[in-house]
Structure 1
Amino acid sequence: MRTPTSTYRLQIRPSLTLADAADLTDYLVDLGVDAVYLSPVLTATTGSDHGYDTVDPTTIDPARGGEEGWRRLVDAAHAKGLKVVLDIVPNHLGISVPAENPAWWDVLTHGRDSAYAPWFDINWDAGPLHLPVLGDDGFEALQVVSTDSGAELRYHEHRFPIAPGTYAEGDSVADVHARQHYRLAHWETGNTELNYRRFFAVTTLAGVRQEDPTVFEQTHERIFRMIREGDVDGLRVDHPDGLVDPEDYFDGLAAAATGLWITAEKILEHGEELPDSWLIHGTTGYDAMTEINQVFIDPAGEETFTDFQRTLVGDERDLAAHILHGKTQAATILLPAERDRLTRLVPDLPAEEVRRALTSIAAHLEVYRSYVPVGIERLHAAATAAREEHPDLAPTIDLLVLRLADPTAEVARRFQQFSGAVMAKGVEDTAYYRANRFVALNEVGGNPAQFGMEPDAFHRAMARRQEHQPKSMTSLSTHDTKRGEDVRARLAVLAELRELVTPWLEEFIDRSGITDRSFANLLGQVFLGAGLIERERMHAYAEKAMREAFTGTSWTHPDAEFEAQVHAAVDLAYDDENLNDGLCRLLALIEQPGWANSLGQKLVQLTMPGIPDVYQGTELWDDSLVDPDNRRPVDFAARRALLDLTEAPWIDGTGAAKFWVVRQALRLRRERSDLFTGYAPVVASGTSAHHLLAFDRGGAITAVTRLPYTLSTDHHGWADTVLPLEGTWRDVLTGAVHTGDTKPDELFGHYPVALLVRD
């Protein structure tokens, strides 16, 4: 087993190629990292910065360094003792530029007779492939263009093949188009008439049929060669919930990847466990992120923020209502084509009733999917809730759920894929931009219904993690997080500053001019978490956030008036003297407790049960917001310079203190992995004991400060609090030595965190 002690995520792209990553391996080793963790590297759509739109799964992307860059990276990493972990994307392929995807081009050319037709999840019975690419000029701009290999249909920059024997000189464009295995249509028909499975609501990502063993082998050929040649030590599997049968997929992957460390981007909802039958080592860490976020939030702030959202913002809906509404909208507005495909699989039931029933069951399902027969009780619970919501549909629901519970039924297999898309689009990408009581909680895999977590609950969660997922990845930031880890750390302080924060939020909401006051509340909180970052970055965030919220505007039909309100409100926070002054005063109060939270949550994540990942650049303070903001280039030169540190720097705006904590923790995990094999709480006593979170991993003790603002204001510091230590311990962060009952003032004399080993 090649399980790493830690990973460091790099976003490989044309501006940070595999060769560039090879040049960073010495830095990563000095930082204490055990494995370089790469975003997808197979050939992606030209210009793709993320790589999740693979167009050719058989080759390494030339724009990312190609085969030569791959060899250079692997050789450099292994020469320095670094493992290599690779992100792979089995669920879909990119089709926005058909000519760049050889398999898709062949399918467009030859239809269901193509050798690659089995690759894609296409409903051929519904007619030719529906391609929603045309604008308002439609067929008027379509033309036939002769090429060296024959001829093509062209629509502006878009190219489509012409099947052999379907074009002769003198044929009209309309006649040629009518003879193809596809039909070009207006872009707005994508959500309603599509006849191929896509990734969520993204029509430019076509679903792949990994349930077919031949397709599985063909689309994984390059990855399996990497494994056979010893190039990779671990795999991160993107979006397994999109597959018909994730368990079967992981069985096949494990058989080909013996000894590799495998994690899956599986979003676990509150109370959900990873299926025991999956042959993987855990998730990619959103569940761990939620546990860490929660323990640094003061539960005492819940009433204030709940009342504020209801009375001053005017939002009477609770989270459950927002989620139900968001998921219902996703099923009916974003995903009706998928819902209609399901409906056609039960032709003996009334179609309209089936559509309504499918929408309601998916909206009430509390997890992404139920993996029937595993988790079948969640499916039945959703059906019960659907009957209560729509009593008139009870007979249809009764008959439908019998089929949805049958794992061999086609409608059940496809419903699993549908419900996951409904959850992702309806909750994370919609409800979490609307239910803005406390946005620090509105994160991927988060649980905004829970407002904070006490240390004893955290310890129970960590004990379960140690028992069931000791090799699962843990994360604080990813390429998909809505707000960066240090933004969330600062937002957590708002729960402690509640009586000071809400007046400014009220003023901002009132003066913003934004008709959606809940969205104004979100924007105000983000200013408090991120601070006065570069104005253009905040404008970009606001644009994405309001379109995701899908209340006053949307991606497909932007409302110019509403968007102007939001952008004016952004400028107001920067330009209005009184509003800006109030914001700056709050930011000054948030700064130091925010730093304490940042160091605390980082040290917890790096030392808790599981394998910690450091997302690129987050070894320094990170003020990133949602993608693509969190995928900005990283200044590695500045980080390299900090490797020269020989003693713990003081905490300041440079982030050097965070760098030091990260480096010392990663080095300890790599060099003394024997100290991280168990989990036991270390419980402080005294007046302020609940402000101290500590645990022993089997020889290494982590101790951090929580709720730092109220620690200083409510109890006049640590008072009589002590942390019991048996024997003598040395803090690897500062070198300080502690014995027996230790006062936090001594333990945290330099940093509000400590990492102890027996001296």
Structure 2
Amino acid sequence: MLDYLKHGRQSAFRYLFDIDLNAPEYPGKIILPLLDFYPIQEPDRIAITEGSVLVDNGRMELPVSSYSNTGNKAEILAEQPYVLTHWKEASRIINYRRFFAVNDLIAIRIERRKNFDIFHLKIKDLASRGLIHGLRVDHIDGLYDPLTYLRRLHKISGNIPIWVEKILARDETINGDWPVEGDTGYSARSRINSVFIDIDSLRAVRNLFRRNGGAKYEGEKYRIDLKIEISKKLFHSDLKKYSRLIQSRLKSAKLIGLSTDGILEALRATIACMDQYRTYSTPSMVDSIKWITAVDKATQYFPEISHELTGMKTFIHYASIDHRFNHVLRRIEQFTGSVMAKSMEDCFFYRYSALLSTCLVGSMPFEDTYSDAEIHSFFANIQLSGKRPIVTLSTHDTKFGEDAIARFNALSDMLPDWEALLTHFGETGIELYDIYRILQAILGTYDASDRDYKDRLRSYIIKALRESGENTSWEYPSTDYETKCLEFAENSVAEIEKNWKELLHKIQFLGGLNSLSQTVLKFMAPGIPDTYQGSESMNLSFVDPDNRKTVNFSALFKKLERLSSKNPKTKEENIVNGDLKLWLTSKLLSVRSRFSSHFAEGLYFPLKFTGKNADNIFGFFYKLEDSYVITLVSRHHHSIISGGSYTSECWNKIKVKGLPNLQGNITDLITGKIHSRMVLEDILKEYPFAVLEAS
């Protein structure tokens, strides 16, 4: 990049970067919105020598292409192949593709074979020596041609397994032509999370949010308008570039005449009406149905630009028959995911805070959770496919650690307690969704033993407020509103510590039980279990960067050695501090290793339950010849736990349906105990979960 900044179009590396040198603002130059000031206003913050442009005493150093020796900074800067400006100008004039809206991450044209070969030399070398056994491709939607890229990667790596970070819409599946094992865990996480959210409880929580004033955040039109707002705020220059390309193609084919501004409005509205991150056209196939559906929806919501939207339809039609149009559409496709991500994940998820465990990457908080039948179907299909997608409960992109999420799910079953807490705090002078988010965040992450907790909470709140973008933002922070929210959070922590201890302890205990059950599902579900750093034990982290802290693995090893000498009991202390989860993780890893054939070759079958509290248990089994590995987990614990402790009496009326007649003993693979019959009250006596072997 430095060579390009020095030599511009003469650089040997000019073909690496995705830069639009035909942009009208500064043709032939790359625009660098990397400063926190305007050079014309604060020239003293820039120093120029014959070899370098130095910003803020060397905090940033850029090469000098030519040096006129006039001493005039403005003239010397004007001679360079780049234009330095304030980062706030990015949306208006930036002329290179970037990682979402991160200005200092310039995109590579990796679809060019030469570029691909250069950037994958290390991977090819490591794979050829057998030093790597799998590859994870992040942000697959940012590629111009994902299929070709993955085929090349598969070939040069010696066909080792590949996983892609892909966020799928509810009715979307990974392209069957991609040579991949599956996604990196979002699909499985959303299903496992659904196990612990009762749909009726979720609807009641949403109704409370709606009654308290949250109705304005619901509805498709609100989300579409939000995407338009974000695309104007962050991606106006990107949309201008694509609009110029569309107009150029339409003109060259002597088709409908539209202004660049008109096409821009139509393109922005169409992208806002897409219901998934992107489509995947190829030179011979265009996903016309999804694009035309989006145009029709835009026409419904924005009839004032119907003429321009007709032009979009014309463009989409020609993209299926003319390679010049097709190329432009595919360039647009690699951009649409940025609009979806920044408007939904990084904005809407911070506004629609009815229940924070539904505001996670891979889910949509306005959708219903998956039913048990849908969850079982999903996992059964994975097992039949022979593919092995990642199964995880949290990643660097989830808004909270997995054990905080488990607490939020427990809260969803406790509507009267939640409503009482909201009523107690009453009017606060801040937005409803900020009240909801702050109180839930405290209940989900509170850790009395963490000396840094209040500072971590403050940092999270600042990020959440600015990402939501309604009363403050990264571009224009409102210290008054942020201070109100921080004061509310500080007062809330003190109030909850003092007067709501019973509720806090209940959520910690019930959330801990959820955590144990979801951990069992992560390891026992079809696919490859993945434990995010630090989640072997209790993980109550906030969003990035809080979830990237260094993990003290040495302390975890020592704790595990201590726990391995005896089975920890289901005491609240062991559940809340993560000891039981750490011990269980170790046990489940052993099960995966010992019964690897069942996971690789067995068939998946759901279990059904009848009798009182049947809805409080979820289970399935693998069958390999005459051998069975059975998984049972409890859920919705609020209705079955009394007195703050777990007993198995709640299972004494339940019958298990779906298992064949078992001929031998049943062995508990976690505790080692042997049972003669499938009696849940006995099998779940010690723990509210079980992994069993039977024949």
Structure-1-length-normalised TM-score: 0.82
Tell which deviates more after alignment, 166-175 or 234-243.
Answer: 166-175
Name 2:429's counterpart in structure 1. Answer: 513
Which residue pairs with 1:717 in the alignment?
A: 650
1:521–1:716 distance in 2 versus 1, CA, 3 Å: farther
User: Is the CA contact 2:523–2:589 (under 8 Å) kept in the aligned structure 1?
Assistant: yes
Kindly indicate whether residue 693 of structure 2 is the aligned counterpart of residue 757 of structure 1: yes
* Secondary structure class of the residue paired with 2:610: coil
Instruction: Specify the code of the residue in structure 2 equivalent to 1:440.
Output: S
Identity %: 30
Instruction: Map 1:135-214; keep pairs closer than 5 Å.
Output: 135-136=36-37, 138-139=39-40, 140-141=43-44, 143-146=46-49, 150-156=50-56, 157-163=59-65, 166-214=66-114
What is the RMSD of the two structures over their aligned residues, measured on CA atoms?
Answer: 2.1
The answer (yes or no) to whether the contact 2:666–2:678 under 8 Å persists in 1 is no
Letter in 2 for 1:568: E
Partner of 2:682: 746
Unaligned runs of 5+ in 1: 1-103
The answer to whether the Cα contact below 8 Å between 2:47 and 2:55 also exists between their aligned partners in 1 is no
Q: Which residue of 2 aligns with 1:237?
A: 137
State the match for 2:550 in structure 1: 633
Counterpart-to-counterpart distance in 1, 2:20 and 2:684? 62
CA distance in 2, matches of 1:422, 1:673: 41
SS in structure 1 opposite 2:189?
helix
Q: 1:404 to 1:155 in 2, by over 3 A?
A: farther
Residue number among 306, 309, 334 corresponding to 2:234 in the alignment: 334
Among candidates 412, 415, 419, match of residue 332 of structure 2: 415
Post-superposition CA distance 1:440-496 (Å, at most 9, x none): 100001132234444223212222232347311111111111111111111101121
Deviations 1:3-26, CA, capped at 9 Å, x for gaps = xxxxxxxxxxxxxxxxxxxxxxxx
| Structure 1 contact 466–609 (Cα < 8 Å) conserved | yes
Shift of 1:511: 4.6
Match of 2:309 among 377, 397, 406: 397
Q: What is the SS of the residue equivalent to 1:395?
A: helix
Q: Is the counterpart of residue 299 in structure 1 residue 199 in structure 2? A: yes
Structure 2 residue 22 is matched with structure 1 residue 125:
yes
Is 1:460–2:460 an aligned residue pair? Answer: no
2:691 matches 1:691: no
Q: 1:144 to 1:483 in 2, by over 3 A?
A: closer
* 1:153 counterpart SS class: strand
Query: Deviation at 1:719?
Result: 4.0
Matched, 1:737 2:665: no
Give the C-alpha shift of residue 390 in structure 1. Answer: 1.4
Q: Which amino acid aligns with 2:677?
A: G
Q: Hey, what's the Cα distance between the residues in 2 that align with 1:397 and 1:193?
A: 25
Further displaced range: 170-179 or 267-276: 170-179
Shift, 1:144, TM fit: 4.8
One-letter code of the match for 1:162? V
Letter of the 2:61 counterpart: R
Residues 716 and 740 of structure 1: CA distance in aligned 2, closer, same or farther (over 3 Å): closer
Q: Distance in 1 between matches of 2:312 and 2:102?
A: 28
1:678 to 2:603 alignment: yes
Asked if the contact 2:517–2:689 (Cα under 8 Å) also holds between the matched residues in 1, the reply is: yes
Distance 1:396 1:739, change over 3 A: farther
Aligned to 1:113: 10
Distance 1:445 1:322 in 2: 20
Q: Which residue number in structure 2 is paired with residue 706 of structure 1?
A: 635
Aligned twin of 1:361: 270
Matched, 1:545 2:545: no
Partner Cα separation in structure 2 for residue 145 and residue 318 of structure 1: 53
2:4·2:13 contact (CA, 8 Å) conserved in 1? yes
Against the structure 1 CA distance between its residues 241 and 176, is the aligned structure 2 distance closer, same or farther, given a 3 Å change threshold?
same
**Match runs of 1:635-674 below 5 Å:** 635-644=552-561, 645-651=564-570, 652=574, 653-674=576-597
1:87-142 CA distance string (max 9 Å, x none):
xxxxxxxxxxxxxxxxx101101112211111110001122100112333524125
Secondary structure of 1:639's aligned partner: helix
Pick aligned residue for 1:437 from 354, 357, 361: 354
With 272-281 and 377-386 compared, the bigger mean Cα shift is at 377-386
Give the distance between the partners of 1:129 and 1:137, measured in 2 at CA.
17
Alpha-carbon distance, 1:678 to partner: 2.5
Q: 1: distance between equivalents of 2:184 and 2:286?
A: 21
- Aligned residue for 1:359, secondary structure, equals helix
Structure 1 residues 422-442: Cα deviation after superposition (integer angstroms, max 9, x where no partner): 010010101111111211100
Worse overlay, 182-191 or 423-432:
182-191
Q: How far apart are residue 554 of structure 1 and its match?
A: 0.4
Is 2:252 the counterpart of 1:252? no
Question: 1:368/1:271 Cα in 2 relative to 1: closer, same or farther (>3 Å)?
Answer: same
TM-score (norm 2): 0.89
Corresponding residue number in structure 2 for 1:388: 300
Question: SS of the counterpart of 1:400?
Answer: helix
Q: By how many angstroms is 1:582 displaced?
A: 4.2
For this pair of structures, how many residues does the alignment match?
646
Amino acid across the alignment from 1:729: I
Choose from 12, 28, 35 the match for 1:134: 35
Whether 2:464 is the aligned partner of 1:527: answer: no
Residue 144 and residue 447 in structure 1: after superposition, are their counterparts in 2 closer, same or farther (change >3 A)? closer
SS at match of 2:531: strand
Change (3 A) 1:716 1:389: farther
SS of residue paired to 1:551 = coil
Question: In 2, are the aligned partners of 1:473 and 1:610 still within 8 Å (CA)?
Answer: yes
CA pair 375-495 structure 1, distance change in 2 beyond 3 A: farther
Contact 2:183/2:390, CA 8 A, preserved across alignment:
yes
Q: Is the 8 A contact 2:668 2:691 kept in 1?
A: yes
Structure 1 residues 175 and 605: alpha-carbon distance in aligned structure 2, compared to 1, 3 A threshold? same
Aligned to 1:31: none
Task: Give the aligned partner of residue 562 of structure 1.
Answer: 481
Which amino acid in 2 is paired with 1:723?
V
- Correspondence list, 1:275-290, <5 A: 275-290=175-190
Q: Distance in 2 between matches of 1:735 and 1:716?
A: 21
Taking the aligned partners of 2:137 and 2:334, their CA distance within structure 1 comes to 16
Q: Find the aligned partners of 1:326 and 1:660 in 2 and give their Cα distance.
A: 45
Partner Cα distance (1:722, 1:624) in 2: 38
Match of 1:370 in 2: 279
SS of the aligned residue for 1:125 comes to: coil
Paired with 1:631 and 1:594, the residues of 2 have a C-alpha distance of 22
What's the secondary structure of 2:565's corresponding residue? coil
How far the C-alpha of 1:592 sits from its partner, in A, is 2.2
1:329 CA drift (Å): 1.6
Structure 2 residue aligned with 1:228: 128
Shift of 1:225: 1.4
Aligned counterparts of 1:346 and 1:753: Cα–Cα separation in 2? 57
Contact 1:470 1:609 in 2 (8 A): no
1:648–1:733: 8 Å Cα contact kept in structure 2? Answer: no
Aligned-residue offset at 1:745:
2.1
Is the deviation greater in 707-716 or in 249-258? 707-716
The letter for the 2-side match of 1:184 is L
Q: Secondary structure at the match of 2:640?
A: helix
Q: Which amino acid aligns with 1:750?
A: E
The C-alpha deviation readout for 1:201-228, integer Å capped at 9, x for no partner, is 1111111101100001111112221112
Which position in structure 2 is the counterpart of 1:88? none
Aligned residue among 575, 589, 593 for 2:494: 575
